[in-house]
């Protein structure tokens, strides 16, 4: 038995150093566990994430930690295509129908989730500056799970229009809200040099939003112009080329690839109704890329944080307060916008998934110059915040997709 285990470990270590072997294993194991999840009426996404968890270093080690950097390009491509798809839903004809209501719902749920987590974390013993930062991070929602579930169900209609609209606007709002909250937190901590740092954070947040939208607008216009009167194969090649370039520019210059590609999708769809074909042509590419995206995300999850009682309690509180803020924020935002009851009842459940944006924001705190001014006990609190967000991502990426799928099915059924 020991010889067999030893052989498996040596074979794993030999093969897992090749990215192509890793990608093949991710796809195949993700596919079979995704099918297994479907038997239990769970979204395939949950199966993909569990497959990644099994293949990660914490379980079998088939995907070693150092391979994460090699696979980063896959997640960037996936996020680019996901964001382009969401942007394609910002068709002016649809926006005239749901635009004002979507803005109202988005703003109310942003501040509701921010306020709920802010109050909840203060009740659980966090000082105001740290609670402000956690509240801002709580406002972010993961668009990838939403798009994947909608596409797997081939769902469409008014409920989906509202869902895409809120998810798309949410990320831009979360980035701005985080910039303002981080600036306030820096001032409240009374750290020498914090005022200068907080001003830079606000400027960076606003600059990131506007420059990302500008790059996306240019990319969308170029895709529209170059793909005119082209064949399907040519359209696929050209569009992917511009998506890769726009995503690379965003990453290199520290902009938001999500906002960049959302803007590109919105520009494409509004320049000509015939540009719907661009999104239809790209659709066959999405299943393997989305599968890889979620399996890779699963490899990054750390079950070890579930062993820490304090993190479990604080993270559980964060997850609960955030869920309440998201759901009731959407509910009361829908009331203010006079949106029909079906959307009011079920849309909030689709806001639970949380992933890359939240992790990126909390790691931005950890890597910011402000930390160099903090004392050791304050740095320990920042580390606790990182673990809380990681726990939230772990839980919300597992339970969020099934809840979102249920809400989407019910919302569409009631609409019908």
What does the pLDDT look like over 200-235, one tens digit per residue?
A: 656 666 777 788 889 999 999 999 999 988 888 999
Give the tens place of pLDDT for each residue, 52-93: 888 887 777 777 766 767 777 887 888 788 778 878 877 777
pLDDT exceeds cutoff 80 at 277: yes
Q: What is the percent of the chain where pLDDT is above 90? A: 13
Neighbouring CB atoms inside 10 A of 51's CB total 27
Burial of 339 (0-12, 13-18, 19+ CB in 10 A): buried
More confident of the two residues 387 and 233: 233
DSSP state of 300: T
**Does 54 lie in the same domain as 33?**
yes
**Does 89 lie in the same domain as 25?**
no
**Does 149 lie in the same domain as 293?**
yes
CA distance 311 to 268: 44
Angle formed at CA 191 by CA 185 and CA 195, multiple of 5 degrees = 65
pLDDT exceeds cutoff 80 at 18: no
Query: Which residue is associated with the tokens 């195949």?
Result: 28
Domain range for residue 233?
72-415
Give the tens place of pLDDT for each residue, 326-343: 999 988 888 887 877 777
Q: What is the rounded end-to-end Cα distance, in angstroms, of the chain? A: 58
**Does 309 lie in the same domain as 185?**
yes
pLDDT average, residue stretch 347-365: 74
**Does 358 lie in the same domain as 332?**
yes
Q: What is the pTM of this model?
A: 0.69
Burial of 130 (0-12, 13-18, 19+ CB in 10 A): buried
* Selection from 353, 354, 352, 349 nearest residue 411 by Cα: 349
Q: What is the percent of the chain where pLDDT is above 70? A: 81
pLDDT average, residue stretch 370-393: 75
Handedness of CA 204, 207, 213, 219 (dihedral sign): negative
Given this model, what pLDDT does residue 192 score? Answer: 44
**Does 84 lie in the same domain as 22?**
no
More confident of the two residues 235 and 310: 235
99 SS3 class: helix
- How many residues are given for the chain? 416
pLDDT exceeds cutoff 60 at 416: no
**Does 133 lie in the same domain as 52?**
no
pLDDT exceeds cutoff 60 at 384: yes
Domain count, the chain: 2
């Amino acid at each position: 038995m020991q010889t067999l285990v030893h052989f498996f470990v040596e074979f794993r270590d030999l093969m897992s150093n090749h990215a192509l072997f890793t990608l093949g294993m991710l796809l195949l194991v993700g596919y079979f566990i995704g099918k297994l999840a479907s038997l239990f009426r769970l979204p395939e996404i949950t199966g993909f994430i569990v497959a990644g968890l099994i293949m990660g270093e914490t379980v079998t080690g088939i995907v070693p930690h150092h391979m994460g950097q090699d696979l980063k390009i896959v997640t960037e491509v996936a996020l680019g295509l996901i964001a382009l798809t969401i942007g394609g839903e910002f068709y002016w004809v649809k926006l005239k129908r749901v635009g004002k209501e979507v803005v109202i719902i988005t703003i109310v749920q942003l501040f509701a989730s921010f306020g709920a987590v802010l109050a909840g974390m203060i009740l659980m013993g966090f000082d105001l500056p740290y609670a402000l930062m956690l509240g801002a991070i709580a406002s972010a929602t993961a668009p990838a799970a939403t798009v994947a579930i909608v596409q797997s169900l081939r769902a469409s209609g008014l409920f989906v229009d509202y869902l895409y609209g809120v998810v798309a606007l949410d990320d831009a709002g979360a980035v701005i809200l985080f910039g303002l909250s981080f600036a306030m937190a820096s001032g409240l901590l009374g750290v020498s040099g914090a005022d200068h740092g907080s001003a830079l954070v606000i400027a960076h947040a606003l600059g990131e939003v506007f420059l990302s939208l500008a790059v996306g607008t240019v990319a969308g216009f170029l895709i529209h112009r170059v793909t005119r009167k082209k064949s399907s194969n040519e359209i696929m090649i050209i569009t992917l080329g511009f998506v890769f370039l726009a995503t690379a520019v965003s990453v290199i210059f520290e902009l938001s690839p999500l906002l960049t590609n959302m803007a590109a999708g919105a520009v494409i769809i509004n320049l000509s109704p015939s540009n719907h074909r661009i999104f239809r042509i790209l659709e066959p590419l999405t299943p393997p890329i989305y599968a890889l995206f979620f399996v890779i995300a699963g490899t990054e999850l750390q079950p070890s944080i579930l062993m820490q009682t304090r993190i479990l309690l604080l993270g559980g509180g964060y997850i609960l307060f955030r869920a309440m803020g998201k759901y009731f924020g959407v509910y009361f935002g829908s009331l203010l916008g006079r949106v029909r009851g079906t959307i009011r009842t079920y849309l909030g459940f689709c806001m639970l998934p949380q992933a890359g944006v939240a992790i990126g924001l909390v790691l931005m705190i950890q890597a910011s110059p402000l930390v160099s001014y903090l004392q050791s006990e304050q740095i320990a609190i920042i580390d606790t915040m990182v673990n809380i967000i990681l726990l939230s991502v772990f839980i919300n990426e597992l339970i969020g997709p099934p809840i979102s799928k249920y809400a989407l099915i019910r919302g569409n059924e009631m609409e019908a």
